[in-house]
Structure 1
Amino acid sequence: MLSVCLMLLLLLPPLVSAQTYHWGSCPDPKVQPNFNIEQYMGRWYEIEKLPASFERGKCIEANYAMRPDGTIQVLNSQFYKAKVRVAEGTAVIPDPREPAKIGVSFSYFTPYSPYWVLTTDYSTVAVVYTCTDILHIFHVEYAWILSRSRLVSSQTVRYAKQLLIAEGIDIFSMKATDQSGCKDS
């Protein structure tokens, strides 16, 4: 066990600069009751986020579409280093009794990561959270404030942040995403 802990401590420094981590297990925030996945489909723009090493660009957006097999196509795009970069993934609802707890994977070789919709009105804002527990020693978390438009009111952002805080999620590192000068497709 000691060698595992030492190995984790050696791996921790690279996580610090690109992710948000905390000691202990993941929190268990409440998710959107009566979540309707069909209403959630479509384009969402990233307004603010906790740091994520896989998101460093601007004009970040996600587009969700149902596939004939019942899985969800996830297309994430961002403008980074002078070009549009797209990542395609698959989302599933592991437990139909909890449809707001979605699993997302961007590779056949990786397990589905949690993608929990904490709240959404489907037409203006969504607050999404994910957390990975590392042996109950520490956890890595991400959170996003999404919108159907590139710009939202400060009241909407404040509401989303208050919800995250109320669920025990530390938003100190949350940063706004640059949505200026983007080309709409």
Structure 2
Amino acid sequence: MVKQRPDGWWYPWIFVGMFMVVLSVNAAMLYFSTSTFNGLETRHAYEEGNSYNALIAAEEKQKTLGWSVQLGAESAQTTADAANGPRLVRLSLTIKDKNGAPIEGMEAQLQIRRPTLEGYDQSVTLDPVSPGFYARTVELAMPGQWEIRLMARHGQDSYRLRDRIDVR
């Protein structure tokens, strides 16, 4: 005589299956978190940590300048390209002193960085267009978020700005 299984014999397997799903999801998240972006923002963290007080002092001096700085980015393309192709972007900088007068003779250097991918960073110098207005058209490798780091110098004075742009 064949013995029949009791009702609900499979209930414990529900719990085993749920734990297997949780374990599989955790293993996938562990793999993706360790094999993609390493999270490294700077390669010289110790040196930057030691110069942190100097950075704070430079920011305080920057505030006393009273400069009005506006960084802009607009598409410079006239035709639609491939969905993930390079993009032409016109980056511009408008800078005025605390009295609202445009600042001429500024040296404006930009570092353009892709926050999530390495290998696409570039540095450009903005060209003077008119008093207090500097611009340049650059080619960015792909659409998405880009970080712009501005370093503007005028004589002994300097101004730093960090901003993000969304390139479509």
Q: Under TM normalisation by the shorter chain, which class is it?
A: under 0.3
Larger Rg: 2
Q: How high is the TM-score relative to the length of structure 1?
A: 0.25
Greater relative CO (CA pairs within 8 A, separation 6+): 1
Question: Which structure's residues are more often helix, by fraction?
Answer: 2
